[in-house]
Amino acid sequence: MSIRYFILGLLTRQPMSGYDIKRCLEDFEWLISSPSFGTLYPALHMLLEDGLVSMDLVPNEGRPPRKVYSVTLAGRQALQGWVDESLEDDLSLKSFLMRLMLAENLSQAELVDCLQQRRSQVALHQRCLEEDPPEGEEGGADLGRHLAQGYGRSIAAAELAWLDRAIEGLSQTSISLDSVERETPVQA
Amino acid sequence: MSIRYFILGLLTRQPMSGYDIKRCLEDFEWLISSPSFGTLYPALHMLLEDGLVSMDLVPNEGRPPRKVYSVTLAGRQALQGWVDESLEDDLSLKSFLMRLMLAENLSQAELVDCLQQRRSQVALHQRCLEEDPPEGEEGGADLGRHLAQGYGRSIAAAELAWLDRAIEGLSQTSISLDSVERETPVQA
DNA sequence: TACCGCATGTAAACGGTTACATGATTAC
DNA sequence: GTAATCATGTAACCGTTTACATGCGGTA
């Protein structure tokens, strides 16, 4: 997923400092680990060097001045290019959530497609978790497996429910031309 | 969480080959990325060198012989020591799921404590996600933030529900384990 | 014929964390 | 006075992925 472009994408929502980015990502730390400053700051420096973001120094009484980064035109173009060519990447929970956060940089069709891809992924693995069987002779053994599967099933059910709602919601928002001719992609 | 000990813990459930370990972890790939062979095999070699596991070569017609690893006595002791001293580590989804899988290596009290820790973590962040406000002047802007928050809230609710069920089930010693599994149907 | 699944392994490259350094302000 | 928050940054270290190498058996 390349954290560089993820940061770039976050900055399209609004200019932020490195510290701000950390803060806004922290709300999701229980789901996906948020990058440390050791990752964040160098990444911002690189974006700046490459001209994909610009920086404004905002003085700050008694503290180091805040460095607020904004996406440049070149940055927007680079992001667009990257979005287009990374559409077939994996959709593990982490990359999925990251892409969700960058929803505004995706066309509606791309976004719906992304949700549907994730849906089929989760549905696939949910079926695997449904197979609890090996029971019988072993009795209640393998508590760990049992707990992990139960946990997985609960999360999967909730996620599928959310995805269905989201897909429906997004599909209805604009009943434009292409939503009609679009086929619903694979999802067994 | 150290993948070395995680693998060691998985092997206490039953002897496995590297390939087996990969397979059984793949069911959870949509939640947490499973280690690649480039991680797995070297880790197993290290465990073997340190005498924490033993290896049996199981001939395999026309294929490389399977190398089935079992935990040694020293391995069990090392695992126990590690479990004891890693109780205050972080409980991000990844480490939490890993610990769940190793439930059998925890005392009941430790397990319940682990679930409760995770519960408070999730509950804390859920409260953060509840704050949707910044709306008003911006209207429907920041679709990404909105989607990510909604997603997070759904998962958090499901997880909290599961945790509560699990904690209750585990706290009642007399009742068998599958009480944990009885799911009160989640709303669609 | 070509590809996928099984089954193991290695080494280079990459990415990220950890630990450190700095320093003022506010809260307990 | 001790800790936490704000705010930035660097460098060494470590773990992981990626890409490669090998090779048989079954399937499309």
* Of residues B47, B89, B53, B91, the one with CA closest to residue B70: B53
Which tens digit of pLDDT belongs to each residue from A106-146? Answer: 999 999 999 999 999 999 999 999 876 555 555 557 899 99
Q: Of A33, A38, A47, A41, which is closest to residue A4 (Cα–Cα)?
A: A47
Residues B10 and A94: their CA atoms lie apart, in Å, by: 24
Tell me the pLDDT tens digit for each residue of A17-75: 999 999 999 999 999 999 999 999 999 999 999 999 999 999 988 788 999 999 999 99
The reply to whether residue A92 touches residue B29, judged by beta carbons under 8 angstroms, is yes
pLDDT at A89: 79
Q: Return the closest-CA partner of residue A17 out of A79, A80, A65, A76.
A: A65
Higher pLDDT among residues B181 and A180, named by residue: B181
Q: Which residues contact A80 (CB under 8 A, 6 or more apart)?
A: A105
Residue from B22, B27, B28 whose CB has the most chain A CBs within 10 Å, to mutate: B27
- Whether residue A130 contacts residue A153, with contact meaning beta carbons closer than 8 Å, is answered with yes
Euclidean distance between CA atoms B140 and B165, whole angstroms: 37
Q: How far is the CA of B57 from the C1' of C10 (A)?
A: 20
CA atoms of B134 and B88, how far apart (whole Å)? 35
Helices B143-171, A143-173: axis angle to 10 degrees equals 150
B83 interfaces chain A, CB cutoff of 8 Å: no
Judge whether residue A153 contacts strand D, using its CB and a 7 Å cut-off.
Answer: no
The verdict on B175 touching A (C-beta cutoff 8 Å) is no
Report the C-alpha gap between B46 and B178 in whole angstroms.
Answer: 36
Rounded to whole angstroms, the Cα distance separating B23 from B91 reads 24
Low-confidence ranges of chain B (pLDDT < 50): 174-175, 185-188
Q: Binning pLDDT at 50, 70 and 90, where does residue A183 land?
A: very low
B49 touches chain A (CB under 8 A): no
User: The tokens of B107 are what?
Assistant: 């005392």
Chain B residues near residue A147 by CB distance under 8 angstroms? 100-101, 103, 166, 180
pLDDT of residue B89: 78
- Of all nucleotides, the one whose C1′ comes closest to residue A23's CA is D6
Tens digit of pLDDT for each residue in A91-108?
A: 999 999 999 999 999 999
> Is A62 within 7 A of strand D by CB distance?
no
Type and span of the H or E element at B101: helix B93-101
